[in-house]
Amino acid sequence: MDLKQLPVFQKRHFVPENADLTDAKTVVDLYTQLESRDISTPKLLEQWMLDRSELDAALSQTGSILYIRMTCQTDDKTIADAYTKFIETVSPAIKPVNDRLNKKYLEARKTVTMDDKRLMVYDRSIKTDIELFKEENIALQTQVELLSQEYQTVCGAITVNFEGKEHTLPQMSKYLLETDRNLRERAWKATAERRAKEKDKLENIFDQMFKLRNQISRNAGFKNFTEYQFKSYHRFDYTSDDCKKYHETIEKYIVPLNARILEQRKKEMKLTSLRPWDGGVDPLGRSPLKPFSEVKDLIGKSQKIFNRLDKELGAQFKEMDDLGLLDLASRKGKAPGGYQNTLNEARKPFIFMNAVGVDDDIRTLLHEGGHAFHALACAKDPIVDYRHGPMEFCEVASMAMELLGGEYINEFYSKEETNRSNREHLEGIIHVLAWVANIDAFQHWLYEHPDHTPQQRRQAWLGFYEQFGGKFVDWTDLTEVKAYLWHRQLHIFEVPFYYIEYGIAQLGALQVWVNAKKNPAKALSDYKNGLSYGGSIPLPELYKAAGIEFNFSAEIIKPLVEEVTKAWEKLL
């Protein structure tokens, strides 16, 4: 695959064809040219914005290609070094000049009239970035970065010696799918014991990060870190009070459904109580689903799903395959996981994953496919910042596609297997919705109590864990493990408050799906309509355009959960 041979979306106007955008000096020089330009008329300002966007897109694509190459071939040092060099030299070098360009833009906007309605989202983002930029915070942010790396190092180095062999954590989690209950218990306990050895280290890392974050928000003139962080994530359309509303509705409607799901599992497994190691295995003791063995089958059958869903989406997926924009097979040297990345200048999506022939692979491809369709739906917008939506909506695009595509998953399965796959998927969604609320409620508590002690933190976590469903599992004699489960959630350490996005978006995705049950054609055209706006309108309007509501109240959630419950009951 040669990502540089992609069809040209549009000839460059400002950036020289042969500019080496991996070179920090070249890049800074180009941005600096924009700094000295006259932008005092609407025409001049518009061209300036287009040129800035062209440079942003070309630069972003340069970074994307380096990143894609590295993840496709982690064992090639030259490729890895090229990416690291880009991140270490180009990214920091452009920060100051970007701050100056932002200020120049806002200054010009005071006198130059443009389409204010269209630029509303753009302008408010730029204003916020300027407001948050504080010279004295740079050093503190670097310290937080280093602590984040330390967290990764500590967690990444965890291996478990289990029954005479060294195991990684993903290897250990595979044991939880085994039908032998005793084996599961031993594996689970071995992992928990190993993790417990890092407890004090992780508590200490968190304490240091917590202090720094509170300081950073005070320096930027904020009352608390919560407010600061909401702004830095550009959360303009909801507040921490709305998040609390989300927690309440989840507790009221999702937690009881989750309890029913666990009760059903317990019954099917013929157990008197569910223990922490009983959640992953197939409750009826069947061997794992094997939907395909070759990646060409994964592509071929997914192609059929997309064709059945919508002609246009089917054609887009086919084009991605033809252009070599799918790298799906697992192979030695590839980084773990899956992602979609947009090549912003060619305006084409790329999908990376590690398919090995399991049920999850189909959902991952549908998920990343949803992100890819999103990128294509808004590819025509001339402003690169408008060619991607906010996270709370991006994940609607992807998670809704998992559900919509799931309706045609019989391309891979018999009827019984189809139901089994869809049931596992739905139960997973319910579980995650409750877990997101749990994590988010805990994070709110943390930053509302800047002077808390580790002991108070432990108590608070245990309280939230019970509240959001922990009580339905039997943790007898395992309180020490339960009390530090949050150590496993990297978001709390590395990207605080970032997580609720998944919960919010999942509620949106479920609404799309429920719409599709009533009127599939309309639901799909609304979905595509929502995607077509990219990031050019506020979050609630994006939801509205997609035929759904950005609203966490009982009014929306209660009927939604009723529909989901009905669908789940049908799959039993």
Nearest distance in Å: CB 269, Zn ion: 31
**Rounded to the nearest whole angstrom, what is the least distance from the CB of residue 477 to Zn ion in the complex?**
38
Q: How far apart are CA 522 and CA 516, in angstroms?
A: 7
What CA–CA distances, in Å, run from 202 to 116, 147, 198, 489?
47, 10, 6, 11
Of 475 and 499, CB closest to Zn ion? 499
The reply to whether 71 sits near Zn ion by the rule CB under 5 A is no
Nearer to Zn ion, 187 or 320 (CB): 320
Q: Which stretch binds Zn ion (CB under 5 A): 112-120, 140-148, 159-167, 395-403?
A: 395-403
Contact criterion met (CB below 8 Å) for 552 and 504: yes
Q: How far is the CB of 244 from Zn ion (least distance, A)?
A: 25
Q: Which is nearer to Zn ion, 381 or 402 (CB)?
A: 402
- CA dist 242 and 44 (Å) reads 41
Q: In the complex with Zn ion, which residue's Cβ is closer, 398 or 422?
A: 398
Tokens of 277: 């190691």
Q: How far is the CB of 398 from Zn ion (least distance, A)?
A: 4
User: Which residue, 217 or 398, has its beta carbon nearer to Zn ion?
Assistant: 398
Binding residues among 123-142 for Zn ion as defined by CB under 5 A: none
Beta bridge pairs of residue 327: 352
Q: Residue 442 CA to chain centroid, in angstroms? A: 19
Residue range at the interface with Zn ion (CB under 5 A); choices 69-77, 183-191, 241-249, 392-400: 392-400
Residue carrying the six token digits 């990345």: 341
Tell me whether residue 345 or residue 392 sits nearer to Zn ion (CB atom). 392
Task: CB nearer to Zn ion: give 224 or 489.
Answer: 489
Binding of Zn ion by 364 (CB under 5 A): no
CA distances from 134 to 218, 229, 283, 497, 513 (A): 11, 14, 53, 21, 43
- Shortest Cβ distance from residue 384 to Zn ion (Å)? 20
Give the nearer residue to Zn ion in terms of CB position, either 22 or 398: 398
Closest approach of Zn ion to the CB of residue 46, in Å? 33
Residue number with the shortest CB distance to Zn ion? Answer: 398
Which of helix, strand or coil describes residue 327?
strand
If binding means CB under 5 A, how many residues of this protein chain bind Zn ion?
Answer: 1
Q: Which stretch binds Zn ion (CB under 5 A): 123-131, 160-168, 390-398, 449-457?
A: 390-398
Distance CA(546)–CA(526), nearest Å, equals: 5
Pair of tokens at residue 85: 């060099």
Task: Using the rule CB under 5 A, give the single segment among 50-58, 116-124, 265-273, 397-405 that binds Zn ion.
Answer: 397-405
Read out DSSP for 287-310? Answer: PPP---SSHHHHHHHHHHHHHHH-
Nearest to 7 by CA among 343, 245, 331, 259: 343
In the complex, the smallest distance separating the C-beta of residue 218 from Zn ion, rounded to whole angstroms, is 33
Number of H helices, E strands in the chain: 24, 5
Contact between 341 and Zn ion per CB under 5 A: no
Q: Smallest gap, in angstroms, from Cβ of residue 371 to Zn ion? A: 6
- CA dist 532 and 524 (Å) reads 12
User: Given candidates 398, 443, 511, 551, which one binds Zn ion under the rule CB under 5 A?
Assistant: 398
Q: Which residues would be at the binding site for Zn ion (CB under 5 A)?
A: 398
